[in-house]
Structure 1
Amino acid sequence: MTGETRWLRLRAFAGEWFVVLVVAFAVLAAAGGYAAGTAHAAPGTTTERQTVEHWAVGGEFGHSATVTRENPVFEVGETLEGRSTYFVGASPILDGTYRVSYADPTGDAEPVDVTATATLVLSSTGESATYWTDRERLATTDATLAPGETTSVAFDVNASRVDERATDIQQGLGDTAGEVTATISVAVNATGAVAGSEYPVSYTQSVPLTIAGSTYGVDAPGPTSEAATTQRTVQVAKSYGPLWTVGGPLLLLAGLAGLGALGAAYRRDEPGLTDAERDYLAFRDERAEFDEWVVRARLPATIRDRECADAESLADLVDYAIDADVGVVEDAASGSFYAVTRDLLVVYEPPAEPDVVSPLAGDFDALGVTTDRDPDEDLVEGVTADSGPEADDDGKAPPPDSPTVEAED
């Protein structure tokens, strides 16, 4: 199909469905305009619950061990700090601290009362049970902190005695089947004010103490904090996804472009076809429908010398050719169609191709594709009145494979 033909079909479709297309493009533009305006110009607001932090307390572990016994590596009195492993023989006592800080993100918080208590916890646990727990308070501290101030609770743990204590408990209870663990826990309790009312904040942070023969390890966690918070309701602008923010403007542009194209076509009287254009499209449809019945040939000029009749359409000519058991010949030179019998020549003159300038005409040329058939392709030089296949049982002749040819002087 050439670009001109496709352009005529497009115009025919636009003419037949002009009102529907106008409504469709108007709806498209309205929907796109609404989506674009909603997403960009007037998104509106929605209610959200927000968490407001008024003040917070937090803390972090610190630990070290002082060498108290002679050894080949470390000097007596040397402090080993922040290590993951210490030595029971050289430095059996772990010195720990927990530093508590008070933060005020709002800038108007009042001082808070803080209590920090360090506890050594020994326990034996299995997969689904805790067999026993032993707690020993190590140290406690109380302080009143202003924003930005800190306080510390200091404690010490003798690793060898912890190991002995765990062994004594196990032996006294009959060697329970659970795994024995040692943990240093610090419980922090703070009391301050929020909006004129007392507000308590509490949390616990722990560090495991692993004793393995001649060494013990400390796996201190990072800093943590707990805040005094309240909830408030606020109005925030609605947010929209790409379906609204991108799809809306695209729909608006598509709708306006379609309306503009229809309006321009209407002003040029292009929607719909002229009678000549409509006849030409009808011929093109019939030519495609009956392509298998048509043989393209270059006929001699004397073909018109015999008695001649005109067919109203290509379909009429094909019907006659089937009844007469002859083929339909398209003259490659003139474009006329013939059904040649011994007594009569039936001719169909196709309508002339309209003088249409199509914006689609160059589509295939730009791609290097040719849609028109080669006028010299599969041509037969002459056709006699005896050409054509025999009819089948229904009286209809199958499409001719090729005509019978004879030389013309």
Structure 2
Amino acid sequence: MSEVERSIRVRAFLEQWLSVILIAAVLLAAVGGWWSYQVYATPEVERDEVTVSQWSESTAYDHSSVIVNESLVFEEGERVHNRPVYYVNLAEELDVTYTYEHTAEDGSVDVTTDMRLVYRSVEDDDVLWEYAEPLATGSDEDVTADGNHTVDATVDIDDVFETIATIEQELGAAGTIEIRVVSTSNVEGTLSGQSVSDSYESVMPIAVNQQTLRVLETETIDESGQRTETVERTVGPSGIEAAGSALVLVLGLGTFGGLLFARQNGLVYLSADEREILRIHQQEQEFSEWITSGTFPSEREYEATVLVDDLEGLVDVAIDTNKRVIKDEQLGVSTVLDGEYVYVYVRPDSPAGEWLVNYADTTMAEFEEYDF
């Protein structure tokens, strides 16, 4: 099929379906416009939780003792700090300092602490008995990051052994004796704009025997806190969304405008000759088994050249004479060669149409009236 025939078929399709295509173009443009509106006019909003402030709360123990009996290792009156072991023969008291502090840049808290000395007997993982007595209490208001809350207490070593002896006398000796300095702090206030209300328990365990007090690993608090806010941010359209919506809109508007212009200027309507060419193409497809490409003979070797009105009639001649239709693409003519006669059909778009018509001796209608 030539480019001319392809162009005619395309315009024939547009002529037949023009209204439908125009409606489809309008719908496509509407979809593109709605999509573009959704992309640009109503952008997506993302909400994120953002930490605006952070702080920590912690507790700690310090302990020390004054040497009251001189020895080769320690001098009388010397204070020893944070030792793992304190010797009963050298000291009478164990001084304990409990500290609570926080790091919040803004805000303050009120802190109240109760310290108690807890006695217990442990066997494997079982606690056989437990007894507690108060050591000290303390409270501070408006504790900021620049300060802290402290409570001091003193553990009398002789009293510890006297209490243990009394309990063992009443209950009998069993298990391993431990004492624990337990501090319970109640914290109320506001830190970095965040309201806090917590209770913390810290423990300093001590293993005791007749010669030593051994301070074990303390159980203190190291808590972190934060204040968050919900932040909204507008998310711009992705490149695919932006390009896709614009492309659909432009494609719809361009198609509609182009077809409207073509219709108003008659560019989609076929002329009579073009309709004939289209009809010929359809007939060529229908009768393709009777048509062969070839070249129109340039020399007059026949008794008569008969001009046929249409391709269908020429195919009828080929059927009647049991011949083939020879189609000359370049000249735009189809022929049936039958002995002394040549039957010719000239396409409307033939570049030599006038010459070919004049070349003919008679028309098919005239030919059928006479007996040659």
TM-score normalised per structure 1 = 0.46
Task: State the structure with more CA Rg.
Answer: 2
Q: Which has the higher strand share?
A: 2
